[in-house]
Amino acid sequence: MRVVVQRVSSASVTIAGRVAGRIDRGLLVFVGIEAADTAADGDWLAQKLVKLRIFDDPDGHVHLSVADISGAILLISQFTLHASTQKGTRPSFTAAARPEYAEPLYRQFVSQVTVALDRPVQTGEFGAMMEVALVNDGPVTLIIDSQRRE
């Protein structure tokens, strides 16, 4: 699994004119699943996200996690995170898992993050056309790939 993590002051996802998910301070996480991913990748990544220390403490030092600040998480599925642009100018998405494999893993990942955070998370809708709005805080943006354990 590959994720793009953004520390946000607020974020929301709208589908067909309806707000499907909204958070205040926390993490907006775009989630891409590839064919090699398993539930173990989701578990590792869920723990990493919840414990990732990218929020300021009262002294202005980056020492706190989303769990420490009682922040929220908004998860958005995004297969384009596994795009390859090696050849030409048209991205190839062959590394992205097929929907019939990716969707159950994504749903399981939502559950894994919910358990790790110990409260519900907000989501978009797998496979839907979504409009995502955010106020990036910092900005702080990280890319984490479970296959590389980075």
* Catalytic residue chosen out of the listed positions 30, 55, 79, 109: 79
Measured between alpha carbons, how far is 110 from 149 in angstroms, rounded to an integer?
19
Q: Is 79 a catalytic residue?
A: yes
Peptide bond into 104 cis (omega under 30): no
What's the half-sphere exposure (Cβ side, CA atoms, 13 Å) at 138?
17
**Catalytic residue check, 80:** yes
> Catalytic: 122?
no
Choose the catalytic residue: 80, 94, 141, 147.
Answer: 80
34, 36, 41, 42 alpha-carbon torsion, rounded to 10°: 40
| Catalytic residue (one of 6, 30, 55, 78) | 78
Q: Which residues are catalytic?
A: 78-80
